[in-house]
Structure 1
């Protein structure tokens, strides 16, 4: 049963974390923290197993929901402002576990308890990713084996090229940006441009489930718009990648794979064309109607139906008059 979310003063006089929070999950999760709400930056939290009996409670807020999903605890409070937050369990230097308290405004630096791979994308040495010159706070791909270059892209925020051709592009969206561009119709024009590329995608730095937690627009409207966009532009998928790091990782591997696919496609098409030239299809043979017409022109009567005699076919192929070695067809069967 969901209980109240409590904030109290930490009775420990020497602690650098002057507040206690009690998360209404199970028997209650108690954490020491820096402040009463992560407004501008995420907070480091330290786990403690004691909630003081005489705690000086600063704030008590009813919780509408409190759920644990993987390495995160999602908290929704029953108030208009500062109602949504998340406690993320992650790993820091040395592999030590740490807990951070964050809100939607500070999630860009959050890393759930997922170890991102460091292996190079298959078939790629050092991938050069073009970043649109209008992109604010761009991904730098420092975790991946890639280099970035600012460029005025015709569409998308990140792209790779094969020679002078754009091999693939990715449009980056936050959930709020996706929602507004869908409802205003702007995303349709973006998808039209992306659809003309060999490979393209839209990547959202959020989970799909958060679509149904939107407050300033009906979630069903956004969900329906997403479905309609995917039905119309099925070759441009909309990927929900949970957070900034995972969205960046997916984009890196997608761009690398798309460029490699384009490079492999050209030699394959050339090889198929070469094979076709070396092994041309045999020319189509004459039709029975053509043979019968030719033999009649040379004074021989043949049946309108049935198998054409072998010597007649050979004569047609050799281009000489048919020898009258076969009896004429009965008058009733002649043409």
Structure 2
């Protein structure tokens, strides 16, 4: 897995360089990837107040974002928008989508199925969805509950995460993107660098053996 215009070694070194740069601004650490926020997202997450553990200490993380039009979802990673996407729903969004915008949402879920990973993150808990629907809605909460269950089975590759608050939803969205980056960019890049070092070491050893035989 590569970022456009980057080789595995530069990707592997990117996080190291970011952490070194963080030393010049105190405890701040720079996030190694950029989050794409869809231009149509009306209440975007800021991703402020996210932290990371370095050693045994928590440090604030500076997360860079950019606004772009995504084919699917509301959040993704720059260079990987065809691989991972997150759809955000507030309580009001959810009720509106599963009543008046159902057909459009089903087309969205169909596109999300093509992703390596996709998720629908709801800013409220299941209890809130059922017991505290939006004011002035005429929709029966049970129908929303049934739709969520049905969509999880009809579109099994898209994971539904119901959070207790918007803040938890924001943190969850970031951790999902972070985990994708670690597993699909950082680890493969480090493995390639490790193999290159091993091959180089073996090459040096073989040269020593060959030189010894010639002597």
| TM bracket (short chain) | 0.5 to 0.7
Q: How much has 1:126 moved relative to structure 2?
A: 3.1
Name which of 133, 141, 145 aligns with 1:223.
Answer: 145
Tell me the residue number matched to 1:142. 48
Tell me the residue number matched to 1:173. 89
Indicate yes or no: 2:153 matched with 1:235. no
Indicate yes or no: 2:99 matched with 1:157. no
- Which structure's CA Rg is the greater one? 1
Aligned counterparts of 1:172 and 1:258: Cα–Cα separation in 2 = 17
Indicate yes or no: 2:113 matched with 1:191. no
CA RMSD of aligned residues (A): 2.8
Deviations 1:20-53 (A, max 9, x none): xxxxxxxxxxxxxxxxxxxxxxxxxxxxxxxxxx
Tell me the residue number matched to 1:54. none
Q: How much has 1:188 moved relative to structure 2?
A: 1.1
Name which of 184, 187, 192 aligns with 1:262.
Answer: 184
Q: How much has 1:262 moved relative to structure 2?
A: 2.4
Indicate yes or no: 2:172 matched with 1:250. yes
Q: How much has 1:180 moved relative to structure 2?
A: 2.0
Tell me the residue number matched to 1:71. none
Note the residue ranges of structure 1 that are not aligned, 5 or more in a row: 1-118, 271-335
Note the residue ranges of structure 2 that are not aligned, 5 or more in a row: 1-27, 51-60, 193-215
Q: How much has 1:176 moved relative to structure 2?
A: 1.9
Mapping of 1:290-309 within 5 angstroms? none
Q: How much has 1:165 moved relative to structure 2?
A: 5.4
Mapping of 1:266-281 within 5 angstroms? none
TM-score by length of 1: 0.40
Q: Which has the higher contact order (CA 8 A, sep 6+)?
A: 2
Mapping of 1:9-48 within 5 angstroms? none
After superposition, the Cα gap between the structure-2 partners of 1:176 and 1:125, relative to the gap in structure 1 and judged at 3 Å, is: closer
Q: How much has 1:212 moved relative to structure 2?
A: 1.5
Tell me the residue number matched to 2:201. none
Aligned counterparts of 2:109 and 2:82: Cα–Cα separation in 1 = 16
Q: How much has 1:183 moved relative to structure 2?
A: 2.6
Tell me the residue number matched to 2:196. none
Aligned counterparts of 2:163 and 2:80: Cα–Cα separation in 1 = 29
Mapping of 1:280-295 within 5 angstroms? none
Deviations 1:145-172 (A, max 9, x none): 21111111111111114x4653321111
Q: Secondary structure at the match of 1:172?
A: strand
Tell me the residue number matched to 1:315. none
Q: Is the 8 A contact 2:31 2:64 kept in 1?
A: no
Indicate yes or no: 2:133 matched with 1:209. no
The count of corresponding residues between Structure 1 and Structure 2 is 149
